[in-house]
Amino acid sequence: MEGVDHLAHERSKAQFDVDHMKVVWAGSRHTLEVSDRIARLVASDPVFKKDDRTRLSRKDLFKDTLRKAAHVWKRITELKLTEEEASKLRFYVDQPAYMDLHWGMFIPFIKGSGTEEQQKKWLPLAYKMQIIGCYAQTELGHGSNVQGLETTANFDPKTDEFVIHSPTLTSSKWWPGGLGKVSTHAVVFARLITDGQDHGVNGFIVQLRSLDDHLPLPGVTVGDIGMKFGSGAYNSMDNGVLRFDHVRIPRDHMLMRVSQVTREGKVVQSNVPRQLLYGTMVFVRQTIVADASSALSRAVCIATRYSAVRRQFGSNDGGVETQVIDYKTQQSRLFPLLASAYAFRFVGEWLKWLYTDVTQKLQANDFSTLPEAHACTAGLKSLTTSATADAIEECRKLCGGHGYLSSSGLPELFAVYIPACTYEGDNIVLLLQVARFLMKTVSQLPSGKKPIGTTSYMGRAEHLLQSCCNVQKAEDWLKPSVILEAFEARAMRMSVACAKDLSKFTNPEEGFAELSPNLVDAAVAHCQLIVVSKFIEKLQQDIPGKGVKEQLQILCNVYALFLVHKHLGDFLSTGSITAKQGSLANDQLRSLYSQVRPNAIALVDAFNYTDHYLSSILGRYDGNVYPKLYEEAWKDPLNDTVVPEGYHEYIQPLLKQQLRNSRL
């Protein structure tokens, strides 16, 4: 029935103030108000309609994306939106486009790596969209190994120019978003060569296309790399291929904040430390963690609402069947994902603070926290994106067969999200970087060097290597100090075990390669500890609203105890907890699911997503799923005709043949 809230009964069960929880999720009342206003603006604008996106051909989808991107810019300028509002507008339009890379990579990199003069020259053009930029780093033959890039930038002192060249097929730039069909300019990463000497990889601003007719400039070969995974999804983005044939650019197009090339071709280091460039990387990875909580919460919202609508089994006398959300098997798969969405949200908030802190310290020439911040953001990018990709697929399965329909919103969400596991650093490579940092930290403990930030727990190594988990009964697992110590002991012991095993190898690099699976596990343990500790820290703040803090406490415990359950082997093999304590953690977890159950719908309502943004019939706010699924089916182009095209050529002859044969 239209206009009826089929989930009203579920909403009435909430034991907390949902409006206050919305503020907690948004981060502040101001952010909530901005998000709410912009989300409704997008939902009410017919240009931003997206319900037929997965049915469009690639060309039609791309043209639709260009139309939406142009309309986004029109609305930003007409309404004089702030940077925050403009960012929210692009978020709620929810269609990957060249603008994502222009604003998210091209502009931040020029801000981070350009001199003041370069910023004055390029940023006003970029801010007004008079040029459109992308970030051309990845090549056909090299992704994670940036030092292995093959594109060259050879300085010619006769003309005061760099010659940008792609010497091999594998040096072709491959994957940059916005490159394929739209970008007029790119930050191109190439090997800086002067007088035959290779100075490593540097960024250069290169114009790719004419600003008059958009044709590629001489020596530039550029195009799209083709269809990607899924329908709709990331196929709205023109990921590109780019080759250079001795393309000349002025010397001052090299981004020279850190390294400069003089008129004579001499490479000089400026007084700006190279470490400043890490600020951009911390910013980008912090954004990716925030995006993980958005994508995960979206999938969880769909699966939770549909689990409350769907009824199956449980009635032997013709009465109502059981809601799927009431089955413990459904709760044990769904509620940890709901808890993870909140956990990732709060660690993302903390990363925003970390980025500000690191930036201030870098500007004051204080680099002491940089290695830890770099390892922390790399690890959290890896942990949250991998967990989110797996969780979206789990949410699809939690919705049964209907989750496989495009109209559930989950297949496209999965397809559009999973590249996050490989872009901006392959997740396993990133965890190995974290592991290197952990091994270095452990190796410095005997010298008395105090670990800082997220590794400060390692300063209590002696205690953590000997401590016993203080759990006698299931309720003991509800104490934050108990949870924290168990996670610290596990992380500490796994890192120390890896360090001991590494010390047995005469060649440390050989040892690192051999032990890499164990090192990855140690890095995961460390990163999970960070997420748990930041959730606990959040709960130590003053959180207003009836029952809000209590619900967050329950979710924090679900997140932590689910990890204990999932990684029980680690906790047991390191002696961090006993088998009995592991069993008690499981008992407590089951009890927590029962406490989440009455609040589940209200907890996903707190994400405050419009039906337009969710783009899912199964996740509709009003729960009116079945009539809408039926209605949607008839919109498919296959149903434009009752008798399918091709019947006369292929089906009729087959049937006639069978009829003839049946008479014999």
CA distance 498 to 519: 6
Give which of 192, 188, 173 is closest to 106, Cα–Cα: 188
β-pairing, 259-261 vs 240-244, is unpaired
User: How far is 468 from 480, CA to CA, in rounded Å?
Assistant: 16
User: Do the beta carbons of residue 6 and residue 622 sit within 8 Å?
Assistant: yes
Angle between helices 410-417 and 278-309 (to 10 degrees): 160
Tally the C-alpha atoms within 13 A of residue 329's C-alpha that lie toward its C-beta: 4
Catalytic residue among 349, 424, 485, 488: 424
Distance CA 458, CA 108 (A): 34
Q: Which of 359, 433, 412, 348 is nearest to 385 (CA)?
A: 348
Q: Please give the Cα distance from 104 to 173 (Å, whole number).
A: 19
The single-letter code of the amino acid at 244 is F
Q: Which helix (H) or strand (E) holds 205?
A: strand 197-207
Q: Which residues of 5-36 are buried (b: 16+ CB within 10 A; e: fewer)?
A: ebbeebeeebebbbebbbbbbbbeeeebebbe
Q: Could you give phi then psi for residue 268, rounded to 5 degrees?
A: -125, 145
Amino acid symbol at 141: G
- Of 362, 363, 382, 522, the residue nearest 441 (C-alpha): 522
Q: Where are the beta strands (DSSP E) in 208-287?
A: 220-224, 240-244, 247-250, 259-261, 267-269
Q: Please answer whether residues 549 and 539 qualify as being in contact, where contact means their C-beta atoms are separated by less than 8 angstroms.
A: yes
Rg of the chain taking only CA atoms, in angstroms? 27
Report the alpha-carbon distance of residue 557 to residue 551 in Å, rounded.
Answer: 10
Taking the C-alpha atoms of residue 413 and residue 287, their distance in angstroms, rounded to an integer, is: 18
Question: In angstroms, how far is CA 383 from the centroid of its own chain?
Answer: 10
| Spatial distance between the Cα atoms of 610 and 618, rounded to a whole number of angstroms | 13
Residue 424 a catalytic site member? yes
Query: Which backbone phi and psi does 44 adopt, to 5 degrees?
Result: -90, -5
Residue 17 near residue 602, CB atoms below 8 Å:
no
User: What's the maximum distance between 2 C-alpha atoms anywhere in the chain?
Assistant: 94
Q: Closest by alpha carbon to 201, among 211, 219, 189?
A: 189
Question: How do beta strands 152-156 and 161-165 pair?
Answer: antiparallel
Supply the residues annotated as catalytic. 424
